[in-house]
């Protein structure tokens, strides 16, 4: 036995330090090894309370173990001290295998002693030693590293409503890291055999503890009970378990094979009344299991840290959920309050990571399934309030929980259920209130996720969830039970008698569908608005939702709805482009027979082959090859086409007819494929086999694209098709063009006889002038390719011979019509048009054969009619070339084609271009015919490419068409000018910029949107300073102010001034729409400079008297002050909130960005303050003095500007305006009044939101309305007590999203404006 003094010291230190044991005793025990501990354990086991194991020693003597100890001179106190020595020795991380085994066995023996009757009387129990003994599992078993996410340590998963900060090592954390490094260096490595031995020791210790809990109550030992719960919780993931775990006390402890099963057995035992009050026991158990479900690990300091969601961690989470469900099943009502608290804490402590949210939502769904209907409905009501909290992570998780709950069967309301809770049971509430309620959330992340969840509802097995979505977006979704009846009250013929028998005999509710239809329209409009959301993630989610709604017939499968998807394939954001393409592909796969989807798919994918992003090009080419090229199989009369082949030929047929405008993009795809050798002989032969099928048009389309880059073709088949075309002439124009193209491609491989025959046949057909106009160009082009040879002179002789012949024939015919006085009376308009068109096309190939007589003939056609000549007589310039001709009465269609023909003639003759450009400009200004003006714009833009300097002076005449009365001409002019500006054939000179930006306020929203796209995504990238360079001049230009010596001094005609003037109060909104657009795309440096420039070049001119303070000057001055007061002109570094956007970013990047923003804001604010004091204030004071002398109304605008500006310098007003004390006093008073009005307005808003019209407090949210205002509550730190979280209710609606406005379509606009604000 150890010395008494040593034993007393151990007890005195309360087992916190391991005093050195006598070496002889220690050596003897160590020499015997684990056998001594096992033998003692076996002996003590026979004396354990409740032990039913027979023992020879027990049969021989019925004495207690304490009597035996006394008879053998063994002191219980000494035994406990020795056991504690071995227990404490095993705590060190450097302890070897044998030390750890001895510690585990010693701890087991100590726990076994506690279970022996009389242990209390002998004072064996000591709380510290007990806690240390049960904790030996953690000390002795080697801890696996790598489970933690060190970067994701959570001081609290929700920290004061702000995004979590990046990991920054302060002094404490660095110490912890150093300790961890030291521990890793000193860590002992164990073999597999060592681990098996230690596992046996752990199993023995846990089994001993489980037996102890049966007879040793911990009712008065709260801390020990808490420690037991903690130990058992940690053991739940000790080792993997195959299959499901068995819970409960019905099984024998010795039969339990796995440690996690023992752990749950222990947790169940601790819920017994023997170990404390049932409520407290359940609270402890549920609190510890909370972190297992959250996949977190609590350290010594109680700070939870995330675990990697490995298969083992997820399995451990599933077992914890199953155990909670078991507790609820067994304890019924007693466990329900704690289940609710557990669910609430899962919501409050869920981290904002997608994979964790997904697992958490599934856990919530499983646990909620154990709740009775009343408690379930009550929790859904709580969840609805939770979904309106200020923290983005809360609202995101609420959406995930809602979608997970809809996978569960819908609950029916019981008779005993509170009527106020009944509306929360159906899935309809989750869809229409919780999910759809977040549609206008202030956070783009939440908005996008809400739309994604709505789309997911349609994929769920819940029919009610699908109907709920249909009610929101489809007017046919909200119909009564009588919808199967006809209008006369009888059943429709398609419904069977079975439907009549199963119709329930109950009151039929007839709903008014008028209001429903309006709501549906607004919801659809809002969904479409989300497709244009500023945030790419929201646009992606909106596209996914629209695709699902179209796929499941929630939205009408219309051209407009499908165009949303195809248009977004050209979105500025790469991820949105790919999402739109994915949605179109999914729709086409689901409904390959739909013609509308086929058209949308083509319009989305084919233009993508020229996308600036190479990854988009590759994706588009891959899909086109998969859907079109790979489906070209050999065709015979008996061959069968599967769905993929039918789809391919349907798409090719659409390209030949409805989607011909996509041909140039389609050609680009074949250019790429030809370089990749995609077209082998087998593919070509298979393709030719389809030229005689019903879908021959599609085959000729493909053949026309591949013939030029493919190996030797079957020329006989192609020539047979040509002969058939000549013989019947019943092929479509598109197919005929493709046949011409193929013949041109194979021309170099034909012999001379065949070429001569083809040339003669083509000339004969052209000379008949019965070809459609589209075929004339193809025919002449093919003719030229047939005559092309290596000798250029010989080729030109061929062209002069044949094309010159066509020119001569056309000239002769036109002479007869134009020069003959009676020629116009019996005019064949179609024939004249074909003659003109053929003349223009042919003249391009033989300019030497075009004489002066031809020019004069075409010129004479362009003379205006008598009426238009009389109207524009005063503005005609006598020197213009057309003034020498008499007015004609030829139709406008003929004159429009004459413009195109003259343009082609000008392309070959520079002197002709110089002579007739004034005539073209005159036509733009005076001609009233749309087709003529449209063609003039095309011709002048084409001439600008060939003769840039010559056409440059007429650019204002072209840009004046941006305000043409016809939308077609405005759009065409905008597109062609953008192309010229991109290629730098035209510069931003004169009035061009102001004409261009005036289209931003075009009455046609589509043209205004196109202008925005051209300016921002095409032109601003080439010239980033063009907005800031022209901004100040915009003020003078659009207000028609010409008194400034520098600005708005370029030459303009009176008609041009009238067209583009936006002067006056009625155009104020349009002017500021332009100003805001330009300012939104300024950099902060440009905003800073433009503010200074306005003060120096505009305000200072009025101070110095350079500009008069007349009525026009007052308008410019007032406009300048309003511009300086705009939100868009403020520096983003100063006005933007620190922390940036709500997008999910890496935490370190987000924090670094926030820190940089704060520092930048401080520096920029100081610079801005200095500039304001030095440059702005002297001008403002001087200008105020002059305005007071004039008693000008602009003084009000000046004070409003100061009031807005000085909000950031509220306490420095008197310092800033020390030179004008009266101004400082007035401004101080105005600021005080403004603040008072703001407070009064806020108070009134709060009162209105909290009170009904009758003056009573407003009722809480009901399922019948969509509330979208989350509570402005800051998230609390991790709650120390496992109790119900108490969120504050929203004080002000509209903080995080928008109110539900009851008006019709304006509601959508109002919601979006509030969100943007």
Task: For 895-928, write each residue's pLDDT tens digit.
Answer: 899 999 999 999 888 888 888 899 889 888 888 8
Q: Which of 108-117, 615-624, 1249-1258 has the highest mean pLDDT?
A: 615-624
User: Max CA-CA distance within the chain?
Assistant: 149
Q: What pLDDT is recorded for position 997?
A: 95
Residues 421 and 375: their CA atoms lie apart, in Å, by 9
Confidence of residue 142 (pLDDT cuts 50, 70, 90): confident
Encode pLDDT of 706-762 as tens digits: 887 776 777 888 888 888 888 877 778 888 898 989 988 888 888 889 999 999 999
Residues 1010 and 1081: their CA atoms lie apart, in Å, by 16
Encode pLDDT of 1053-1063 as tens digits: 888 888 899 99
Per DSSP, the three-state class of 164 is coil
Tokens of 599: 């058209």
Confidence of residue 1160 (pLDDT cuts 50, 70, 90): low
Q: What pLDDT is recorded for position 1277?
A: 36
Q: Calculate mean pLDDT across residues 272-300.
A: 87
Q: What pLDDT is recorded for position 944?
A: 93
Query: Is residue 30 pLDDT above 90, yes or no?
Result: no
Q: What pLDDT is recorded for position 1212?
A: 61
Q: Calculate mean pLDDT across residues 79-86.
A: 82
The answer to whether the CB of 673 falls within 8 A of the CB of 629 is yes
Q: What pLDDT is recorded for position 175?
A: 41
* C-alpha closest to that of 912 among 952, 858, 833, 834: 858
CA atoms within 13 A on the CB side of 773: 12
Least confident of 12-26, 355-369, 393-407: 12-26
Query: Is residue 366 pLDDT above 50, yes or no?
Result: yes
Query: Is residue 296 pLDDT above 50, yes or no?
Result: yes
Tokens of 295: 């996949």
Confidence of residue 305 (pLDDT cuts 50, 70, 90): confident
* C-alpha closest to that of 1300 among 427, 439, 531, 447: 439
Q: What pLDDT is recorded for position 70?
A: 73
Q: Calculate mean pLDDT across residues 1132-1151.
A: 48
Query: Is residue 193 pLDDT above 90, yes or no?
Result: no
Query: Is residue 67 pLDDT above 70, yes or no?
Result: yes
Query: Is residue 803 pLDDT above 90, yes or no?
Result: yes
Q: Calculate mean pLDDT across residues 1098-1124.
A: 90
Encode pLDDT of 689-702 as tens digits: 888 888 889 989 99
Q: Calculate mean pLDDT across residues 184-210.
A: 81
Higher-pLDDT residue of 548 and 148 is 548
Q: What pLDDT is recorded for position 171?
A: 40
Tokens of 556: 């009408």
The answer to whether the CB of 654 falls within 8 A of the CB of 602 is yes
Q: What pLDDT is recorded for position 318?
A: 92
Q: Which of 171-175, 516-520, 656-660 has the highest mean pLDDT?
A: 656-660
Least confident of 20-29, 335-344, 1010-1019, 1072-1081: 20-29
The mean of the pLDDT values for the chain is 79
Q: What pLDDT is recorded for position 513?
A: 41
* C-alpha closest to that of 66 among 15, 8, 117, 3: 117
Q: Dihedral (C-alpha) 58, 64, 66, 70: value to the nearest 10 degrees?
A: -80
Query: Is residue 659 pLDDT above 80, yes or no?
Result: yes
Report percent pLDDT > 70 for the chain.
76
Query: Is residue 649 pLDDT above 90, yes or no?
Result: yes
Higher-pLDDT residue of 677 and 20 is 677
Q: What pLDDT is recorded for position 508?
A: 41
Report percent pLDDT > 90 for the chain.
32
Confidence of residue 865 (pLDDT cuts 50, 70, 90): very low
Q: Calculate mean pLDDT across residues 130-154.
A: 66
Name residue, tokens 């104020």.
1068
Q: Which of 68-77, 575-584, 676-685, 1299-1308 has the highest mean pLDDT?
A: 575-584
- Within 10 A of 1300 (CB to CB), how many other CB atoms are there? 15
Residues 573 and 3: their CA atoms lie apart, in Å, by 81
Q: What pLDDT is recorded for position 956?
A: 92
Q: Is 277 exposed, middle or buried (0-12, 13-18, 19+ CB in 10 A)?
A: exposed
CA–CA–CA angle 308, 313, 316 (5° rounding): 160
Residues 1005 and 1018: their CA atoms lie apart, in Å, by 19
Higher-pLDDT residue of 1284 and 787 is 787
Q: Calculate mean pLDDT across residues 1231-1259.
A: 53
Q: What pLDDT is recorded for position 1153?
A: 57
Torsion 24-27-32-36 (CA) sign? positive
The answer to whether the CB of 683 falls within 8 A of the CB of 690 is no
Q: What pLDDT is recorded for position 1131?
A: 79
CA 66 to chain CA centroid, nearest Å: 74
Encode pLDDT of 975-1009 as tens digits: 999 999 999 999 999 999 999 999 999 999 999 99
Q: What pLDDT is recorded for position 166?
A: 42
Residues 247 and 244: their CA atoms lie apart, in Å, by 10
The answer to whether the CB of 1013 falls within 8 A of the CB of 976 is no
* C-alpha closest to that of 392 among 1141, 1218, 1303: 1141
Residues 384 and 347: their CA atoms lie apart, in Å, by 12
Residues 1291 and 1249: their CA atoms lie apart, in Å, by 8
Tokens of 973: 């002019």
Q: What pLDDT is recorded for position 824?
A: 60
* C-alpha closest to that of 140 among 182, 107, 176, 164: 107
Residues 741 and 736: their CA atoms lie apart, in Å, by 9
């Amino acid at each position: 036995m150890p010395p008494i003094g040593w034993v007393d010291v151990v007890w005195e230190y309360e087992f916190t330090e391991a005093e050195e044991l006598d070496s002889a005793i220690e050596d003897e025990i160590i020499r015997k090894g684990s056998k001594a501990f096992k033998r003692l354990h076996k002996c003590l086991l026979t004396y354990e309370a409740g032990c039913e194991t027979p023992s020879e020693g027990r049969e021989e003597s019925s004495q207690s173990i304490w009597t035996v100890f006394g008879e053998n001179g063994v002191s219980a106190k000494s035994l406990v001290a020795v056991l504690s020595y071995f227990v404490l020795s095993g705590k060190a991380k450097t302890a070897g295998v044998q030390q750890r085994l001895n510690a585990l066995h010693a701890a087991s023996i100590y726990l076994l002693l506690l279970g022996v009757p009389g242990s209390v009387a002998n004072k064996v129990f000591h709380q510290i030693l007990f806690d240390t003994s049960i904790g030996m599992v953690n000390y002795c078993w080697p801890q696996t590293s790598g489970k933690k996410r060190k970067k994701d340590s959570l001081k609290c998963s929700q920290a004061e409503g702000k995004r979590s900060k990046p990991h920054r090592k302060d002094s404490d954390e660095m110490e912890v890291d150093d300790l961890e490094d030291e521990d890793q260096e000193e860590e002992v490595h164990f073999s597999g055999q060592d681990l098996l031995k230690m596992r046996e020791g752990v199993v023995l210790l846990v089994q001993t503890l489980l037996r102890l809990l049966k007879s040793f109550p911990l009712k008065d030992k709260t801390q020990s009970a808490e420690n037991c719960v903690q130990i058992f919780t940690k053991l739940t993931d000790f080792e993997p378990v195959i299959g499901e775990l068995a819970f409960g006390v019905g099984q024998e402890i010795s039969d339990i094979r796995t440690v996690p099963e023992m752990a749950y057995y222990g947790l169940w035992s601790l819920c017994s009344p023997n170990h404390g009050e049932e409520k407290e026991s359940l609270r402890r158990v549920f609190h510890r299991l909370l972190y297992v479900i959250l996949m977190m690990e609590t350290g010594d300091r109680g700070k939870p840290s995330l675990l990697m969601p490995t298969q083992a961690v997820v399995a451990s989470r599933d077992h914890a959920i199953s155990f909670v469900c078991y507790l609820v099943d067994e304890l019924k009502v007693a466990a329900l309050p704690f289940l609710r608290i557990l669910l609430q804490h899962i919501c409050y402590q869920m981290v904002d990571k997608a994979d964790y949210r997904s697992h958490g939502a599934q856990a919530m769904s499983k646990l909620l399934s154990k709740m009775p209907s009343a408690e379930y409905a009550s929790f859904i009501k709580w969840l609805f309030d939770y979904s309106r909290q200020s923290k983005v992570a809360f609202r995101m998780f609420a959406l995930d929980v809602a979608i997970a709950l809809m996978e569960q069967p819908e609950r029916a309301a019981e008779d005993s259920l509170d009527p106020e809770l009944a509306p929360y049971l159906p899935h309809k509430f989750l869809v229409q209130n919780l999910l759809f309620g977040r549609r206008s959330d202030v956070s783009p992340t939440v908005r996008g996720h809400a739309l994604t969840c709505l789309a997911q509802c349609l994929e769920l097995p819940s029919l009610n969830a699908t109907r709920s979505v249909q009610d929101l977006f489809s007017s046919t979704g909200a119909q009564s039970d009588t919808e199967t009846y006809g209008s006369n009250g009888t059943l429709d013929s398609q419904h069977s008698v079975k439907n009549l028998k199963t119709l329930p005999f109950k009151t039929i509710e007839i709903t008014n569908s008028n209001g429903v239809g309006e709501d549906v329209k607004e919801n659809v409009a809002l969904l479409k608005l989300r497709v244009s959301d500023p945030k790419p993630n929201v646009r992606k989610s909106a596209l996914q939702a629209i695709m699902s709604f179209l796929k499941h017939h929630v939205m009408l499968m219309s051209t407009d709805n499908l165009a949303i998807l195809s248009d977004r394939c050209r979105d500025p954001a790469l991820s949105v482009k790919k999402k739109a393409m994915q949605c179109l592909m999914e729709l086409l796969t689901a409904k390959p027979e739909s013609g509308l989807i086929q058209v949308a798919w083509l319009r989305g994918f084919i233009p993508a082959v020229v996308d600036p992003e190479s990854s988009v090009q590759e994706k588009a080419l891959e899909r086109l090859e998969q859907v079109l090229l790979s489906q070209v199989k050999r065709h015979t009369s008996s061959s069968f086409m599967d769905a993929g082949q039918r789809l391919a030929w349907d798409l090719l047929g659409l390209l030949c007819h409805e989607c011909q405008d996509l041909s140039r993009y389609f050609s680009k795809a074949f250019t790429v494929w030809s370089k990749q050798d995609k077209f082998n002989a087998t593919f070509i032969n298979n393709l030719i086999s389809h030229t005689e099928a019903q879908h021959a048009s599609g085959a000729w389309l493909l053949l026309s694209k591949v013939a030029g880059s493919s190996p030797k073709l079957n020329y006989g088949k192609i020539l047979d098709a040509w002969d058939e075309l000549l013989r019947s002439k019943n092929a479509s124009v598109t197919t005929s063009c493709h046949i011409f193209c193929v013949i041109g491609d194979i021309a170099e491989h034909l012999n001379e006889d065949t070429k001569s025959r083809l040339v003669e046949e083509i000339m004969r057909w052209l000379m008949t002038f019965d070809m459609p106009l589209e075929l004339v160009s193809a025919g002449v082009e093919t003719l030229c390719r047939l005559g092309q040879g290596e000798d250029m002179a010989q080729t030109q002789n061929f062209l002069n011979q044949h094309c010159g012949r066509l020119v001569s024939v056309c000239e002769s015919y036109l002479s007869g019509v134009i020069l003959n006085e009676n020629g116009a009376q019996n005019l064949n308009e179609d024939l004249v048009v074909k003659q003109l068109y053929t003349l223009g096309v042919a003249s391009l190939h033989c300019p030497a054969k075009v004489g002066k007589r031809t020019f004069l003939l075409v010129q004479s056609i362009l003379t205006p009619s008598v009426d238009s000549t009389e109207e524009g007589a005063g503005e005609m310039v006598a020197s213009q070339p057309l003034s020498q001709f008499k007015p004609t009465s030829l139709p406008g269609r003929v004159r429009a084609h004459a413009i195109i023909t003259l343009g082609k003639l000008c392309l070959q003759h520079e002197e002709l271009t110089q002579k007739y450009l004034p005539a073209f400009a005159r036509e733009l200004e005076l001609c009233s015919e749309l087709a003529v003006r449209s063609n003039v714009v095309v011709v002048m833009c084409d001439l600008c490419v060939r003769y840039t300097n010559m056409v440059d002076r007429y650019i204002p005449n072209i840009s004046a068409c941006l305000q043409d009365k016809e939308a077609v001409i405005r759009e065409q002019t905008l597109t062609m000018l953008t192309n010229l500006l991109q290629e730098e054939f035209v510069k931003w000179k004169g009035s061009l910029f102001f004409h261009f930006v005036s289209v931003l306020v075009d009455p046609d929203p589509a043209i205004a949107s196109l202008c925005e796209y051209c300016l921002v995504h095409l032109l601003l990238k080439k010239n980033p300073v063009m907005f800031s360079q022209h901004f100040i001049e915009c003020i003078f230009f659009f207000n028609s102010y010409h008194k400034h010596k520098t600005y708005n001094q370029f030459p303009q005609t009176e008609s041009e001034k009238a067209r583009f003037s936006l002067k006056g109060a009625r155009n104020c909104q349009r002017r500021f729409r332009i100003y805001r657009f330009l300012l939104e795309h300024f950099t902060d440096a440009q905003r800073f400079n433009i503010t200074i420039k306005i003060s120096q070049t505009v305000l200072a001119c009025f101070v110095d008297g350079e500009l008069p303070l007349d009525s026009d000057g007052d308008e410019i001055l007032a406009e300048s002050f309003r511009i300086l007061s705009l939100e868009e002109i403020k520096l983003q570094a100063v006005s933007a909130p620190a922390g940036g956007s709500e997008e999910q970013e890496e935490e370190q990047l987000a924090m670094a960005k926030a820190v940089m923003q704060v520092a930048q804001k401080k520096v920029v604010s100081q610079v801005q303050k200095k500039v304001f004091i030095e440059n702005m204030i002297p001008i403002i004071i001087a200008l105020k003095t002059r305005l007071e002398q004039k008693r000008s109304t602009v003084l009000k605008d000046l004070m409003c500007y100061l009031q807005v500006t000085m909000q950031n310098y509220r306490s420095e007003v008197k310092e800033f305006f020390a030179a004008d004390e009266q101004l400082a006093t007035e401004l101080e008073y105005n600021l005080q009044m403004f603040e008072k009005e703001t407070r009064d307005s806020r108070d009134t808003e709060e009162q209105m939101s909290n009170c009904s019209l009758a003056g009573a407090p407003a009722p809480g949210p009901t399922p019948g309305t969509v509330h979208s205002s989350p509570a402005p509550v800051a998230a609390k730190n991790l709650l120390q007590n496992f109790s119900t979280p108490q969120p504050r209710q929203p004080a002000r609606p509209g903080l995080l999203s928008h109110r539900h406005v009851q008006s019709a379509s304006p509601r959508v606009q109002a919601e979006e404006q509030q969100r943007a604000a």
